[in-house]
Structure 1
């Protein structure tokens, strides 16, 4: 190798710049994935956004970048917004109910109460009701505490407009987010009773652990059978779960896990992974159930995904 270049033929300073770009991207990768996932509700699409972010970041003149973290978040937000707008058309053609893609998360996510709530199934579904720009502003401001000027640059709005959007989005979310928060220990205890009821086909135990007006949302994506509309009421959900498995003679087993920062279950039918079950718990009872059966959404439930703020 000559004194003036690298094995690739690039000048040495170009190689150094490439190394710095790679180092900066990798040091913030988990943050960027978390931003993209919270905006999209899909790990697969979040990974695609990161690829697009890297391609754009690798062409940036780093001498013009004062804050690599802020710049990378800006690129990621713009790419996620573009994808969110195209995903809306896909969602409209989706078979049945759509639920966010569940993630097996690292223990530190559950320890960060605000981050865990922000990626919970319950809140992610609330974020789905925001416009793309409202969602981006809410996520960046409320979850990642990004300054209004930086958000404005990311969403191509004035700081004053961003403040108004943030206020509107916050009011919208507050009106719809779950009112009560429970500890992970209480959620695990309630889910353990739910697990025993499913495995033992115990209708009384199931009724005892479900709130009277509990709501079940199930996502099969057209690949597996699922309720097309929400199933409401403890008695209907009990029949929904226990009737079908008993009729077919299926053996149901559940493994406790932590998905999206909260206690959850991996549900196996006849020894094969059938789906994931997340729950919202209030006053010691399950008030919301989120059952993801779509096999395309079960690719991130066996290896941990690191989320961070």
Structure 2
């Protein structure tokens, strides 16, 4: 038993990170880890040649099951669904955190479960296609195709998803905040792409457009209309969550919204504005 616990603890950080990155839920990742540990302790470990592969497969399978059930639940979600932002503070260090930005997290939502898992395992956790094929019971060639398909989908979103855009992202966040402070959103039009989008996740807990706004002029008209009604609160500051600058909006000293920007691939304009207003998704931000 002690040997089994020691082996599990050696891989605990990796396993937690995989579950957390696939599910994007701290609570779910912890539940999965607990289930996997119990399953592991039931095994005759002498018969397991590769504990890392065995444990990883258990985590991946449970994470995929969660993704499939979560997708069904989101069909009835009120308005645009945006991933819940979280401050990554856990006892175990999160492996691969330096490779994930909030923009990438959002774009990964458009991948199906297998594409998402292959992308994360290969590009974030450095598993080989041979290892992935064994975890998912697919061929290495199929793993390569899934990775290629996921990268194509991510690229087609026309959003810069890596940390190399952070300095430009910071500049646009500052410009956005300055426009709000001055009460003049006119400069906003100049740094949105023509086909820019804005998704506001209110989750029927706070008022928000039922659909993603498309085109810079429509976004500008909407923001100009809601700005006089304390849409941007009475206090704002720029911080960093998920390795990416964001604007935190407060009202009467209470967290009201968090706003992220997704830049285009050229990193010279804003392609997508993501705004989380749903209080249920802000509960883990202090």
Contact 1:268–1:274 under 8 Å retained in 2: yes
**Offset of residue 116 of structure 1:** 4.8
Pair 1:217 & 2:199 matched: yes
Counterparts of 1:97 and 1:249, CA distance in 2: 18
Contact 1:140 1:151 (C-alpha < 8 Å) held by counterparts: yes
Structure-2 separation of matches of 1:209 and 1:61 = 60
> Residue 46 of structure 1 aligns to a residue in which SS?
helix
Q: Is residue 281 of structure 2 the alignment partner of residue 297 of structure 1?
A: yes
Partner of 1:183, secondary structure, is: helix
Matches of 2:261 and 2:143 in 1, distance apart?
A: 33
Q: What TM-score do the two structures reach when normalised by structure 2?
A: 0.83
SS in structure 2 at match of 1:138:
helix
Q: Does 1:95 align with 2:81?
A: no
Q: Is there any run of 5+ residues in structure 2 with no aligned partner, and where?
A: 90-94
* Partner SS state of residue 59, structure 2: helix
Aligned length: 278
Distance 1:239 1:170, change over 3 A: closer
Residues 1:241 and 2:227 aligned together: no
Instruction: Name the counterpart of 1:172.
Output: 153
2:10 aligns with: 24
CA distance in 1, matches of 2:255, 2:76: 26
Deviation at 1:204, TM superposition (A): 2.3
Q: Which runs of 5+ in 1 are unaligned?
A: 1-13, 107-111, 303-309
Residue in 2 that maps onto 1:232: 214
Query: 1:127 aligned to 98, 105, 108, which one?
Result: 108
Aligned-partner Cα distance in 2 for 1:250–1:177: 27
Q: How big is the alpha-carbon RMSD for the aligned residues of Structure 1 and Structure 2?
A: 2.9
Instruction: Give the Cα–Cα distance (whole angstroms) in 2 for the partners of residues 161 and 48 of structure 1.
Output: 30
Is it true that 1:46 corresponds to 2:19 in the alignment? no
The 1:49–1:197 alpha-carbon spacing in structure 2 relative to 1, beyond 3 Å, is: farther
The runs of at least 4 consecutive aligned structure 1 residues that moved more than 6 Å come to none
Please say if 1:276 is aligned against 2:262.
no
CA distance in 2, matches of 1:287, 1:249: 21
Determine helix, strand or coil for the equivalent of 1:214.
strand
SS of the equivalent of 1:74 reads helix
Provide TM-score, normalisation by structure 1.
Answer: 0.77
Instruction: Give the superposition deviation at 1:86.
Output: 1.1
1:35 aligns with 2:18: yes
Q: Which has the larger radius of gyration?
A: 1
Deviations 1:253-296 (A, max 9, x none): 22211112111121112321112111113444322111111222
Q: Which of 185, 201, 221 is equivalent to 2:167?
A: 185
Tell me the CA shift for residue 248 of structure 1.
5.5
Q: Tell whether 2:57 aligns with 1:71.
A: no
Comparing 270-279 with 124-133, greater Cα deviation is found at: 124-133
